[in-house]
Chains A and B, each alone.
Chain A
Amino acid sequence: MDFTIDFTKEQIEAIENVLEEELIELGVQSVILMDLAGNVIVNLDSGGTSHDVFSLAALAAGNYGAVSAMANIIGEQEFSLLFHKGEEESIHFSKVVDDLLLLTIFNKNVSLGFLRLKVAEAIKRIQLLV
Chain B
Amino acid sequence: MALINPKKREVQVKIVYYGPGRGGKTTNLEYINRKFKKRILNEMVTVKTYGDRTLFFDFLPFDMGEIKGHSIKIQLYTVPGQVKYNATRRLVLRGVDGIVFVADSMDLRREMNIRSLQNLKENLESFNKNINNIPLVMQYNKRDLSEEGIPILPIETLQKDMNSQLNAPYFQASAITGENVTATMKKIIALTVSSLRKKLE
Contact = CB atoms under 8 A, between A and B. Distances in A.
Interface string A91-102: 000000000000
Q: Is the interface of A mostly helix, strand, loop or mixed?
A: mixed
B145 to A, nearest CB: 32
Given A3-B95, A54-B73, A55-B43, A41 B5 contact: yes
Given A1-B128, A52-B42, A55-B45, A61 B91 contact: yes
B140 interface: no
B6 A3 contact: no
A35 interface: yes
Contacts of A41: 3, 5
B75 interface: yes
A73 to B, nearest CB: 10
A110 interface: no
A13 B42 CA distance: 26
Contacts of B42: 52, 54-55
Interface in A1-56: 1-4, 6-9, 12-13, 35-41, 52, 54-55
A54 B45 CA distance: 10
Interface residues of A, number: 27
A39 B15 CA distance: 12
Interface string B59-103: 101000000000001010100000000011001101110000000
A39 B3 CA distance: 7
Given A7-B5, A12-B6, A65-B94, 9 more contacts: A4-B2, A12-B5, A12-B7, A37-B94, A38-B14, A39-B14, A41-B3, A66-B56, A66-B91
